[in-house]
Amino acid sequence: MARHFMLTSVALLLIFFSSGGSANPPSVRNERIVGGNELSIYNAPWQVSIQVSARHVCGGAIYSKDIIITAAHCVDSTSVTLMKVRVGANHHNSGGSLIPVASYTIHEQYNQKLKYYDIALVRLATQLTYSISVKAIGLASVSPKAGSDVSVSGWGFTEENGATGFANSLQVVQLQIIERNECASAKYGYGWDFVGEEMICAAADNKDSCTGDSGGPLVSDRLLAGIVAWGFGCARANYPGVYVDVAMLRTWIINSANSL
Ligand code: ARG
């Protein structure tokens, strides 16, 4: 009896290790955003690249002909003279147009350390001309429901360690919404102090936004529902991507855009 049990255990262990090994062969690891696909700018004409000193630092979304929505940590204490916004491009480092920046404003409740209210508006020095590859996205007026499908796009790292740098062409990945209260609960690794009241989470197995996607759009029903804010690593189980909940900050966005 004992002997039979031991043999069964050894067999189970062998199955466990061999399947664990082949489930994750190094040759087919995450190639994109993390786990995403290439996206044409024609299908996300609101997507922009925020550049500092001629380098991509973050994503962003077109709100109007001269206002871009991004994350506060993307522009925080950066001189506007060093900033440009690339619009209408499939690549973060070529194509489309590069527009100089006139000014920006950061949410009054932005907390640099805890990343609360991680949202900023950037005003362009010249107005955009809308086209098939340059267009604004509307703001969500209700927060996306738990479990609903959303997508996030950007040129960020295609794997957590960023060994291959930013993605050459724009990437997109589909995720499911995790509401704030669930995301802050013990079900996940963050806790209530880190997942602020204005945050929303999204995740899927082996898929996520990552470094360099910050400030970029989380889209639900073709409306801007979230802004890429932060995460622990990228695509780790129990650590969803965390986004600013745009519907909650809709009034702030509208009022601040009018006075910027
Ligand atoms: N903070 C990162 C940035 O500056 C974005 C992180 C998003 N991380 C995640 N696991 N979803 O680009």
Atom of ligand 1 nearest to the CA of 58: 12
> Residue 87 in contact with residue 243, Cβ under 8 Å?
no
Tokens coding 54: 């001629």
Atom of ligand 1 nearest to the CA of 214: 12
Atom of ligand 1 nearest to the CA of 235: 10
E strand map for 142-190? 149-154, 171-178
Quote the ligand 1 centre to 233 CA distance (angstroms): 8
* 73 noted as active-site residue: yes
Q: What is the rounded distance in angstroms from the CA atom of residue 70 to the CA atom of residue 61? A: 7
- Can you give the pLDDT of all 260 residues of the chain as single tens digits? 333 433 333 333 333 333 333 333 333 444 468 999 999 999 999 999 999 999 999 999 999 999 999 999 999 999 999 999 999 999 999 999 999 999 999 999 999 999 999 999 999 999 999 999 999 999 999 999 999 999 999 999 999 998 888 999 999 999 999 999 999 999 999 999 999 999 999 999 999 999 999 999 999 999 999 999 999 999 999 999 999 999 999 999 999 999 99
Q: pTM above 0.95?
A: no
Domains and CATH numbers, the chain: 45-136+250-259 (2.40.10.10), 138-245 (2.40.10.10)
Which of 142, 115, 139 minimizes the C-alpha distance to 199? 115
Q: What is the rounded distance in angstroms from the CA atom of residue 35 to the CA atom of residue 237? A: 14
By most ligand atoms within 8 Å of CB, the mutation choice from 78, 92, 113, 211 for ligand 1 is 211
Quote the ligand 1 centre to 80 CA distance (angstroms): 22
